[in-house]
Amino acid sequence: MGRIFKIALGDYTIDQIRQGFRYYIKHIGGMPEPCDIATIIDRNGKPPFERSVYINIVKKIPEERSTDEWKYIKDYENFIIKG
Range from 4-8, 43-47, 63-67 that averages highest in pLDDT: 63-67
**pTM for the complete prediction?**
0.66
Do 32 and 54 lie in one domain? The reply is no
Contact 47, 36 (CB under 8 A): no
Domain residues for the domain of 73 are 50-83
Q: What is the pLDDT of residues 30-62, one digit of tens each?
A: 888 898 899 889 888 777 788 889 999 999 999
Do 18 and 35 lie in one domain? The reply is yes
Do 44 and 55 lie in one domain? The reply is no
Do 15 and 3 lie in one domain? The reply is yes
Task: Say how far apart CA 31 and CA 58 lie, in whole Å.
Answer: 29
Residue 59's pLDDT is 95
Do 44 and 7 lie in one domain? The reply is yes
Task: Say how far apart CA 9 and CA 64 lie, in whole Å.
Answer: 38
Measured between alpha carbons, how far is residue 17 from residues 20, 26, 73 in Å? 5, 14, 26
Do 39 and 59 lie in one domain? The reply is no
pLDDT band at 1 (very low <50, low <70, confident <90, very high): low
